[in-house]
Amino acid sequence: MSVISRDVPVMKEGALQAPRVGLVQQVRGNLFGSKRDALLTVVLGAVIVAAVYFAVDWLLLSAAAPWAPAESCAAVAGACWPFVVEKYRLILFGTYPYVEQWRSFLASVLLIVAVAVSMLPSFHNGRLVWLWSVVGASFYVLMRGGYFGLDYVQPERWNGLPVLLMLAIFGLVFAFPVGVLLSLARYQSQLPSIRAFAVLYIELVRGVPMIMVLFLGLFVLPLMMPEGITLSPLLTTMIALVFFHSAYFAEAVRGGLQSVPRGQHEAADSQGLGYVQKTRLIILPQALQRSMPEIMNTVLGAYKDTSLVVIIGIHDIMATAKMAFSDPSWQHYGLEAYLLVGIWYLATCWCLSSYSRWLEARTS
């Protein structure tokens, strides 16, 4: 029978744990732990406060209200929101016929909804093929017209947001499977000629700037077509984007293929699986999972790089923003136009980044 003396203090549960540090102590230790840290904190804090003040002042306090007349913009030092109200349809849809802009709006919404549906975990495999087949045909009918009583609109008048979404989304939709095939061709060693072609293609495309590929697609590709067959500038630009981005997708997927343990190949071979079955069921799913961060990074870069098509005369949302403030009566308000475009890119890239983080956490 053991006896505990009253003179020996009893250790309570959790007494050996380190004392919790409060929020004030954490802030003081991290931001004001030394004289240098305190100086940097004060300077950066002052810069942030000043930037926020000037931004709020320009956007709200000193700005012309959206419902104010256009003449009020000359008397304010801030943003001219009547310009955005007046020109937002031109920025979004360009020279597409004004009375038919509901079609370009509906086509843009259709593409955005299709992308959102494709991100659902339960929507995959054969359903995606049917989804994008229907979406592609519907987008073409809405934008072009000539069917179901819709007026025909020349592709030269397709501008703004629909063009950006079409080039970015369909370019990536076709570039990704081409990139996967290129990565598999470069990774395998049974067919040296195919591997050499894949290596040459990937290194050649990755070794030239995107502008060069766009110029080749716009001016050289139509010359290579048989007589009597013509390609629209939008179609040739999309083909050039597919060729360019597929090389980067190929390298991203090849990194995932190389990270798959050799034992997975041997286990698949021991089960008697052929090359196609082994690749489709065992190797490629693991490779895509391992290369997911690099794939999503390539998607983000390709989406933003699509704005470079303005250099070859394709009127995406960057070009239509310039159209908006090219009007002599609004030529001083280019910052408002590009701010609207920047908000669009920031919002969409943030959504893609959030989906990338969620997908990476889900598949880890």
Whole-number pLDDT of residue 5: 46
Read off the pTM: 0.82
Q: Any long-range contacts for 288-293 (C-beta under 8 Å, 24+ apart)?
A: 288/253, 288/256, 289/256, 289/363, 290/255, 290/256, 290/259, 290/260, 291/252, 291/253, 291/255, 291/256, 291/257, 291/259, 292/256, 292/356, 292/359, 292/360, 292/363, 293/356, 293/360
Q: Please report, for residues 149, 164, 209, 335, 339, the alpha-carbon distance to residue 345 in angstroms, rounded to integers and kept in the order given.
A: 34, 11, 22, 15, 10
Whole-number pLDDT of residue 2: 46
Whole-number pLDDT of residue 349: 92
Query: Which residues have a Cβ under 8 Å from the Cβ of 19 and sit 6 or more positions away?
Result: none
CB 289 within 8 A of CB 257: no
Taking residue 318's Cβ as centre, other Cβ atoms within 10 Å add up to: 21
Whole-number pLDDT of residue 109: 95
Centroid of chain to Cα 218: 23
Which of 317, 342, 38, 15 has its CA nearest to residue 168? 317
10 Å CB burial of residue 19 (0-12, 13-18, 19+) is exposed
> Which tokens go with 256?
């995932």
pLDDT tens, per residue, the chain with 364 residues:
444 444 544 555 544 554 555 677 777 777 777 778 788 888 998 999 999 999 999 898 888 888 888 888 888 888 889 999 989 999 999 899 999 999 999 999 999 999 998 888 776 667 788 888 999 999 999 999 888 889 999 988 899 999 999 999 999 999 999 999 999 999 888 888 999 999 999 999 999 898 888 888 888 887 777 777 777 888 889 989 999 999 999 999 998 888 888 888 888 888 888 888 888 888 888 888 888 888 989 999 999 988 888 888 888 899 899 888 888 888 888 888 999 999 999 999 999 999 888 888 877 6
The domain spans of the chain are 154-318
Given phi > 0 = left and psi -120 to 50 = alpha, else beta, which region is 216?
alpha
Whole-number pLDDT of residue 360: 80
pLDDT per residue over 168-224, tens digit each? 999 999 999 999 999 999 988 888 899 999 999 999 999 989 888 888 888 888 777
154-318, CATH topology level: MetI-like fold (1.10.3720)
Q: What is the length of the chain?
A: 364
DSSP 217: I
Whole-number pLDDT of residue 281: 85
CB 132 within 8 A of CB 113: no
Amino acid at 126: G
CB 164 within 8 A of CB 107: no
